[in-house]
Amino acid sequence: MSNPNADALTQAFAAADAGDPAPLLALYDDSMTWAGFSFDGTQRVYTKDEFLAGLGVLAQLDASSNEVVATSSYGDEIVVATIRAYRKLGEHELDIEMIMAHRFIDGRVVRGADMVPSSFEAFWAATGLAG
């Protein structure tokens, strides 16, 4: 049986990759917090605004994409997505699968966390964009 939150997440990521970030932005609640990685590989908790600002660096790349390749649902609220993340800047490329866990309340993501392989921070360090 399909989970409407998993379907919404998959569709929102596809829309963002096609150039329309509005569905993905709307999916994240304004009070959302996200446990994620900084470009140097350290973990921290982000607000929605900080999380979106971090994604803004993707505009500096030659190529970037995020594709939901699989989802798993745990009850009505938890959706874990496997994301194929591709990044390219000059000769530097990153092509990974990462995990993003989402907790939905009333159809919106209120909490999230991700896990990335070590090649994530190696890519950002090599590009010089890690700050």
Nearest to 36 by CA among 109, 104, 111, 126: 111
Q: What span, in angstroms and rounded, lies between the C-alpha atoms of 115 and 80?
A: 11
Domains of the chain: 4-127 (3.10.450.50)
pLDDT digits (tens, 9 = 90+) for 58-113: 889 999 999 999 999 999 899 999 999 999 999 999 999 999 999 999 999 999 99
State which amino acid sits at residue 122.
A
pLDDT digits (tens, 9 = 90+) for 4-21: 999 999 999 999 989 898
CA angle 48-107-21, nearest 5°? Answer: 50
Q: What span, in angstroms and rounded, lies between the C-alpha atoms of 3 and 131?
A: 38
